[in-house]
Structure 1
Amino acid sequence: MAFGAIIIGDEILSGRRTDKHLSKLVALLGARGLKLAWARYVGDERARLVDTLRQSFATGDVVFSFGGIGATPDDRTRQSAAAALGVELALHPQAEEIMREKFGSEITEHRLRMGVFPRGSEIIPNPYNQIPGFSINNHFFVPGFPVMAWPMAEWVLDTRFRQLHHVDDYVEAAITVWDAYEGKLIDLMEAITTDYPDATLFSLPTVVEASGDRRSIELGMKGPRASVASAMTRIKTEVGARGYAWQDKD
């Protein structure tokens, strides 16, 4: 089962806000032995958002969508999700109950609008201010505010997908090779790739001119635990034999 992310908001694309959801979702998934397969950024333009969600629903993937589920005119995610699915919007009974209890005599039509979701949706509880998100067709829509979104995403992973936690035999490991050029290690990389076909090698060099840091390469493997362990032992031995200093990557 693949996991994807859609991060919504003109403020992200314009640079007024810096996205923090992508790295956090990767961390939340990784802590549960899961990984992110893809991610997309999209603004608040309705037509583009509808098209993005239509494509996303068609994948059958589990998708976390961050942002745009409020009730202001620039929040269009709820409406776009309904349009992408070809269903109507409706006030969710459980969401209405939660908000009437929260606001009491101060409940307004504007506030109730935050509980209007595509028909067939289920709610996602919000531990911060109780205003729920919603899920439909394995898509999980949460606010753009991290203080709300991240606990809600954790709740989804721990209640809806606990059976998938740490099911796959998948780990990542890497070392930092100091003062090395990729070109000097390509033969080693090719040999490792050939000899461990069930795992994937990765190489991430430091561009010294841009960073000002000491030249280095992050060299690692990802895949089944036994293959990764064996490959990394071989990589460390060969890198040391070639005269390079290295250290394990946290």
Structure 2
Amino acid sequence: MGFGAIIIGDEILSGRRQDKHLAKLIELLGERGLMLSWVRYVGDDRARLTQTLRETLATGDIVFSFGGIGATPDDHTRQCAAAALARPLRLHPEAEAIIRAKFGDEITDHRLQMGVYPEGSDIIPNPYNQIPGFAVERHHFVPGFPVMAWPMVAWTLDTHYAALHHAEDYVERAVTVWEAYEGRLIDLMERICAEYPDVTLFSLPSFAEGDRRRSLELGVKGRKAEVDAAMASLCQTLSERGYDWEDK
């Protein structure tokens, strides 16, 4: 079981808005010793979003979906989730009570639509404006607005998945190697991969630009004991070869 993200909206795909959810979700997961396995970006197309949700529901992963749960004509997420689950949409009684309490005499059928979810859903509290999100089958649907979405994701992680926090012995370590070329360190990378097959090695080059020096971020991720051993070997070899490096 992994963690996934679905980020919805034509405005993201067209470039009218820049996505901020991916970086924040990685941060929220990382603070709890968790990591993101995958992400999908989808526009406001009902057929494509419904198919995406069918596929992600089949994974059994824990998924956070951002956007499209309002009641305007371009909000399709609630309907697509119901279609993907082959369930009817129902006005959630707790969501109805919250929405009625918020709007009082100004309640309308249109506003109540924001509490209509696939049958069997639970609500996700919204501390910003009280209009809830919803969760069903390990999929957690929150608004596209960061000020609402991020506290709702944090609440979900702490309320429903606290047992998973820091449950895995997983770490990531890296060093910055200055004035290094990937091609000249491939033999070292291959040796680390061969000697420590249970860790994952990564290499991220940065080119010289302006005042920035050429560098290579070189690291490994996996279980702590194996990562520590692999990094000790890697750093020793870098020093022996005369490279200038520093911890990330």
- TM-score, with structure 1 as normaliser: 0.97
Please give the alpha-carbon distance, in whole angstroms, between the structure 2 residues aligned to 1:61 and 1:237: 39
- Is the contact made by 2:62 and 2:139 (CA closer than 8 Å) also made in structure 1? yes
Cα deviation digits, residues 129-162 of structure 1 (max 9, x gap): 1000000010000000000000000011001100
Cα deviation digits, residues 27-83 of structure 1 (max 9, x gap): 111111111110000000111111111111111111000000000000000000001
Please give the alpha-carbon distance, in whole angstroms, between the structure 1 residues aligned to 2:223 and 2:55: 31
Shift of 1:212: 7.0
Please give the alpha-carbon distance, in whole angstroms, between the structure 1 residues aligned to 2:13 and 2:246: 37
Please give the alpha-carbon distance, in whole angstroms, between the structure 2 residues aligned to 1:49 and 1:207: 38
Is 1:196 the counterpart of 2:192? The answer is no
Aligned to 1:57: 57
Gaps of 5+ in 2: none
Please give the alpha-carbon distance, in whole angstroms, between the structure 2 residues aligned to 1:90 and 1:212: 59
Please give the alpha-carbon distance, in whole angstroms, between the structure 2 residues aligned to 1:213 and 1:9: 35
Aligned to 1:40: 40
Please give the alpha-carbon distance, in whole angstroms, between the structure 2 residues aligned to 1:228 and 1:147: 36
Aligned residues: 248
Q: Give the aligned residue type for 2:217.
A: E
Cα deviation digits, residues 179-227 of structure 1 (max 9, x gap): 0111111111111111111111111011336x87311100001000011
- Is the contact made by 2:206 and 2:215 (CA closer than 8 Å) also made in structure 1? yes
5 Å-filtered alignment, 1:1-250, equals 1-208=1-208, 213-249=212-248
Q: Give the aligned residue type for 1:194.
A: A
SS at match of 2:58: helix
Please give the alpha-carbon distance, in whole angstroms, between the structure 1 residues aligned to 2:61 and 2:29: 14
Please give the alpha-carbon distance, in whole angstroms, between the structure 1 residues aligned to 2:129 and 2:204: 41
- Is the contact made by 2:207 and 2:213 (CA closer than 8 Å) also made in structure 1? no
- Is the contact made by 2:65 and 2:139 (CA closer than 8 Å) also made in structure 1? yes
Shift of 1:247: 0.8
- TM-score, with structure 2 as normaliser: 0.98
- Is the contact made by 2:89 and 2:117 (CA closer than 8 Å) also made in structure 1? yes
Please give the alpha-carbon distance, in whole angstroms, between the structure 1 residues aligned to 2:5 and 2:221: 21
Q: Give the aligned residue type for 1:203.
A: S
Shift of 1:231: 1.1
Runs in 1 of length 4+ with deviation above 4 angstroms?
Answer: none
Report percent identity of matched pairs. Answer: 68
Please give the alpha-carbon distance, in whole angstroms, between the structure 2 residues aligned to 1:174 and 1:58: 35
Please give the alpha-carbon distance, in whole angstroms, between the structure 1 residues aligned to 2:208 and 2:8: 34
